[in-house]
Structure 1
């Protein structure tokens, strides 16, 4: 799933906030900002409130990591392994709802590649 619409503009409203934050986090992932830096950014920017709670955070983080690793299975694995602490903490906080969000995000991002969705989950 692209992080931006076809024109490259962030979408307005809540979806636009998600798009904007995914794009910002993607830049951080590409700069290899450590997990602690991502977690600090989440708190400093008050993303929990902006994205509708911890499940919104799970969606943003996983979506960003899957897009960051979209070149190959190895890239996906590296992105997920590098930020497993961030994702794990958020999923632990969100419980079953976060687990459900994880499956939905992976399925949505990889809807055209079911094997990758299964591997990522």
Structure 2
């Protein structure tokens, strides 16, 4: 007869925290939807620019600025969705070749260095 490990359950969060977490999740979903809309606008602005530039030989003066602002907007609207999943772009060629303890140590060092830069700069 094998013994199964005990299930560890966390206590339910306070009501105010549960409400705050639901609001945060909803805002994150709305932000992702807005980021997708922003990406569609970037595509439309580029298509509009190409058609005006090469079709009518009259480029739009505002499309590059709009795309720059939209890319910034897209980045910050999508970031809350990507962060908990660890979905950011990472170059891991070196880290994949070292042991898991070295990976944890380097992750800790990177986090401490990033925190130090945030506080000091």
Q: Give the TM-score category using the shorter length.
A: under 0.3
TM-score (norm 2): 0.24
TM-score (norm 1): 0.24
Q: Identify, as 1 or 2, the structure richer in helix.
A: 1
